[in-house]
Chain A
Amino acid sequence: GNSVTQMEGPVTLSEEAFLTINCTYTATGYPSLFWYVQYPGEGLQLLLKATKADDKGSNKGFEATYRKETTSFHLEKGSVQVSDSAVYFCARPNAGGTSYGKLTFGQGTILTVHP
């Protein structure tokens, strides 16, 4: 099947703390993997992606490595900012390896960063 399991939140951190949000997926082939971010009151934005095993996606200080051994795509950032407060979604395509098919989303993790 196609499922994505995310670490439950909410996550509350102080500014400059290290962030990890866990994400694992069911291993149906080698799908592309995505992290989306949703700021309050807005739609989703693609944060980063990886299209094959061992790829590392990165953007705005966030990183995630596609690990097929553990079927994981954990999101990390070394030093979070207040502006990173948002909801983060891990996602994978339902079929095929490209995202213009349907996406399956994790349940979302709410991140709040305090000054």
Chain B
Amino acid sequence: GAVVSQHPSRVICKSGTSVKIECRSLDFQATTMFWYRQFPKQSLMLMATSNEGSKATYEQGVEKDKFLINHASLTLSTLTVTSAHPEDSSFYICSAAAEEEQFFGPGTRLTVL
């Protein structure tokens, strides 16, 4: 099946810094990628839909100036958490759409001190 990678898998940063998370589709092209956030023992919360060559579509309540999404190519989308704070600590998961399925990355654990 199709493979999606995320980098880094784990990041610890200081409050106020920015963190970039990359999501890559390794063996297929994805015009649409999705970014999710998952709190411990909870379901996935869709944050935004990332479309190649156009602006991302954010879900209600998600601050687009805080969570910057760039989908520069058909195989890469990035999520930048700007001026991170401890409440941004979470597990961030991306997925890439291909035909009738979504393929998920392994997730990135962000801890903001």
By a CB distance below 8 angstroms, the chain A residues around B56 are none
Contact among A41, A49, A99, A107 for B42, CB-based, below 8 A: A107
Q: Is the CB of A106 within 8 A of B101?
A: no
A-B contact count (CB 8 A): 56
A25: interface (CB < 8 Å)? no
Interface size on A, residues (CB 8 A): 22
Contact among B1, B43, B98, B106 for A100, CB-based, below 8 A: B98
User: Which secondary structure characterizes the binding site on chain A?
Assistant: loop
Of A36, A100, A107, A110, the most chain B CB neighbours within 10 A belong to A100
Q: A100-B97, A100-B98, A100-B99 are in contact. Are A44 and B104 (CB under 8 A)?
A: yes
B70: interface (CB < 8 Å)? no
Q: A42-B106, A43-B93, A44-B93 are in contact. Are A100 and B41 (CB under 8 A)?
A: no
- Please report B residues at the A interface, Cβ cutoff 8 Å: 1, 4, 6, 32, 34, 41-44, 46, 49, 93, 95, 97-107, 109
- With A43-B4, A43-B107, A103-B46 known, 14 other A-B pairs at CB within 8 A are A44-B95, A44-B104, A46-B1, A98-B100, A99-B97, A99-B102, A100-B32, A100-B98, A100-B102, A102-B34, A103-B102, A105-B44, A107-B43, A108-B41
- Please report A residues at the B interface, Cβ cutoff 8 Å: 32, 36, 41-46, 49, 51, 89, 98-103, 105-108, 110
**Nearest 3 interchain pairs by C-beta:** A100-B97, A43-B104, A44-B104
